[in-house]
Amino acid sequence: MRKKDRRLQQFKSYLILGLLLPLGFILILSTVGSKEFNAPRKFVFEMIATAQYGVSKVTGYCRSLWDGYVVLWNVRDENKKLRDELLKYKALSNEYREAAVTNVRLNKLLKLSESLPSPTLTAQIVGRDPSLWFRTVVINRGTSSGVEKGMPVVTDAGVTGQVMNTSPHYSKILLTNDPNSAIDVLVQKSRVQGIIKGAGREGYRMHYVLKNSEVHKGDQIVTSGLGGVFPKGLQVGTVTKTVKDRRGMFQKVFVEPSVDFFKLEYLVIILKKDSLAE
């Protein structure tokens, strides 16, 4: 009797496994390759991004604490009194310096916002891509602030990315150095057109530039305005190297991004209503 019960229990387990696993696989396979977040994904995105926002606030505070105080622990032995005073003034000066740097940065962003045609929105980066291959960031602005999929994202240094996914309070940005990113650009001096694609750590590569086109090291690359996503004339990068192979019609153009992607903190989203990105 007990043996029979055990077999029945075993049969039930296999039945559940046999039903749940294929169902799970079908559900996952049906989403492979899509870019849209469904409701559960949006919910998880919102939850984790809120945690990221909290953690980034805490780490920001800890970093400022570290910069302001902990680094100065080494001078404790020199003179306690002097150290206390030094600490006080250092902290004060650090505060002023940080305020000045923030002021300069925000001023630049303000000037940029004023120079851009559409209304803009400033957002803070709260999370970064955990993978080795891809380059995306999470910002603390979402659909409740008017952010929509496809909107261009810039900084005072130039083009930075594009909104890929949104939730009510957060958005995911595809950075321009991600391998999936492509922007229509032109060489500022010679007006040669091409497509800039992200190449991860290598920066950018400019594609579809004919071998007889005039492109040289040091040339500035700007957005062409074609494609309808980015406004015309935004800074993209500088040509670092051109290679003309024997075979093929096109030359290889390597471009150094104008934006330092490792130091990004704040981004400006251009609130374009008629974004063409898909």
Contact residues for other proteins (CB under 8 A)? 16-17, 21, 24-25, 28-29, 31-37, 40-41, 44-45, 47-48, 51-52, 55-56, 59, 63, 126-134, 136, 138, 164-165, 172, 174, 178-180, 182, 197-202, 205, 262
Output 47 or 82, the one with its CB closest to other proteins.
Answer: 47
Closest approach of other proteins to the CB of residue 119, in Å:
26
Output 133 or 212, the one with its CB closest to other proteins.
Answer: 133
User: How many Cα neighbours within 13 Å face the side chain of 178?
Assistant: 20
Given a contact cutoff of 8 angstroms between Cβ atoms, the answer to whether 187 and 145 are in contact is no
Closest approach of other proteins to the CB of residue 100, in Å:
23
Integer angstrom CA distances of residue 151 from 154, 185, 265, 276: 10, 17, 18, 9
Closest approach of other proteins to the CB of residue 51, in Å:
4
Closest approach of other proteins to the CB of residue 36, in Å:
8
Helix ranges, the chain (H): 2-29, 39-68, 80-115
Output 127 or 158, the one with its CB closest to other proteins.
Answer: 127
Given a contact cutoff of 8 angstroms between Cβ atoms, the answer to whether 136 and 178 are in contact is yes
Q: By C-alpha distance, which of 75, 100, 71 is closest to 85?
A: 75
Output 63 or 241, the one with its CB closest to other proteins.
Answer: 63
Closest approach of other proteins to the CB of residue 22, in Å:
12
Closest approach of other proteins to the CB of residue 34, in Å:
5
d(CA 38, CA 93): 48
Output 1 or 32, the one with its CB closest to other proteins.
Answer: 32
Which residues lie below 8 Å from residue 155, measured CB to CB, with a gap of 6+?
Answer: 109, 112, 259, 264, 266, 267, 268
User: How many Cα neighbours within 13 Å face the side chain of 237?
Assistant: 28
Output 165 or 223, the one with its CB closest to other proteins.
Answer: 165
Output 110 or 200, the one with its CB closest to other proteins.
Answer: 200
d(CA 151, CA 142): 12
Given a contact cutoff of 8 angstroms between Cβ atoms, the answer to whether 85 and 103 are in contact is no
Closest approach of other proteins to the CB of residue 164, in Å:
5
d(CA 72, CA 86): 9
H, E, C per residue of 244-269: CCCCCCEEEEEEEECCCHHHCCEEEE
